[in-house]
């Protein structure tokens, strides 16, 4: 979803123009990179790698 079609409820301007703090916040949150690794995701990745390592050791 892009912010070009959204209208700000605070200033009634297009969110893409970022006229007010609400627009800027909404625009920044929509264009936030989805590749950020959260601590929860890191725990899941480490757990899966540990489980795969244990399975490899048992079958090897």
Per-residue pLDDT tens over the stretch 10-47: 999 998 888 999 988 888 887 766 667 889 999 999 99
Q: Please check the confidence at residue 50 and state whether its pLDDT lies above 90.
A: yes
Residue 54 confidence class, pLDDT cut points 50, 70, 90: very high
Q: What is the pLDDT of residue 23?
A: 87
Q: What is the pLDDT of residue 33?
A: 62
C-alpha distances (whole Å) from 7 to each of 24, 32, 44 are: 12, 19, 38
Single pTM value for the model? 0.46
The separation between CA 28 and the C-alpha centre of its own chain, rounded to angstroms, equals: 11
Is 51 in contact with 44 (CB distance < 8 Å)? Answer: no
């Amino acid at each position: 979803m892009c912010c070009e079609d959204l209208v700000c409820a605070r200033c009634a301007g297009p969110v893409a123009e970022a006229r007010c703090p609400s627009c800027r916040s909404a625009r920044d949150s929509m264009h936030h990179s989805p590749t950020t690794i959260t601590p929860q995701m890191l725990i899941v990745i480490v757990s899966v790698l540990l489980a795969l390592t244990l399975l490899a050791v048992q079958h090897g």
